[in-house]
Structure formats: C-alpha cells, structure tokens
Structure 1
Amino acid sequence: MRAIEFQTRLKDNQILIPDKIQSQLKGASDKDIRVMILIDDTDTDEEQMFSNMNREQFLKGYAASDSIYDTY
C-alpha cells in the first residue's frame, strides 16, 4: 500500500482531489483504497487549555490532609 497526501477543502461534503493527484490515481481504478480525514480543528487547543486550567484550579484546593479520603 502506498500513501498519497494532499491538502484540500470539503465542498458540499465532497473531497476535492487536485489534478496533480488525480493523474497519480489513473492506474488505480477498481482498487480498494483507505481514506483518513484530518480536519483542522483550532478549537482543540482552546479546549485543552481550558481543561488544564480547570485541573490546576481543582488541585489547588486539594490539601495533603485530604489524602485520607483517597482509596487507591
């Protein structure tokens, strides 16, 4: 199996394949392919930062004396 990577946009829920890539696919008709879609998600960084901040704030309220309630 070989990999071909390119960047494109979704338009009307269709993946647009650049002409240069289409020429590489000409001999691949009637073959099975595997598709992986990676979507640029800039909100993920913000969500991660928010999650880290919440964890830090939560742990600030945790004292060593609270360890008697821990059940490992």
Structure 2
Amino acid sequence: MEALEFKSKIKNDKIQIPNHVKSKLVFNQNKNVRVIVLLEDSDDVEEKEFKNMASETFFEGYSHSDSVYDDD
C-alpha cells in the first residue's frame, strides 16, 4: 500500500486534495483506499503561539552587551 501524505483544511465539509496527489489518484480509479484523518489539537496551536511569543519577548530584551556570552 502506498501512502500519500499532505496537509489540508476542511472547507464546506470537504477535504481539499492538492494537485500533486490528485494526479496520482487519476491512475488508481476504482481501487480501495484507506483514509486516516488527523486533526490538529488546539493545544498544539496554543503551544506554538506561546513559544513564538516567548521567543519574541526574549529577543526584545537582548542587547549588544549580551554578546559577551555568545560563542564565537
């Protein structure tokens, strides 16, 4: 069994399939497929946003005098 992985969004109760995947499906008409849908956890999104904010806040406090601690 061949796996075709892609990221997409659910829009109007449909999952959009990218063209590069559609082109492989054209040659495999009438074959059985197995579909697994993995939904992104909202915690993952919140965690990414927190990490981005923490990183931005950290670098806002960075000054040139801190460079003495940097590796050459």
Q: Same fold (TM over 0.5)?
A: yes
The runs of 5 or more residues in structure 1 that have no matched partner are 47-72
State the Cα deviation string for residues 8-67 of structure 1 (Å, max 9, x = none).
Answer: 110111110011110111111011100000011123798xxxxxxxxxxxxxxxxxxxxx
Supply the distance in 1 between the matched residues of 2:45 and 2:18 (Cα, whole angstroms): 29
Q: CA RMSD in A?
A: 1.6
- 1:26–1:43 Cα change, 3 Å: same
Are residues 1:19 and 2:8 paired?
A: no
Are residues 1:42 and 2:52 paired?
A: no
Partner of 1:3: 3
Supply the distance in 1 between the matched residues of 2:45 and 2:7 (Cα, whole angstroms): 21
The SS at the match of 2:27 is helix
User: What percentage of aligned pairs have identical amino acids?
Assistant: 38
Are residues 1:31 and 2:31 paired?
A: yes
Supply the distance in 2 between the matched residues of 1:17 and 1:23 (Cα, whole angstroms): 10
Partner amino acid, structure 2, of 1:14: K
TM superposition score normalised by structure 1: 0.56
TM superposition score normalised by structure 2: 0.56
Supply the distance in 1 between the matched residues of 2:44 and 2:26 (Cα, whole angstroms): 37
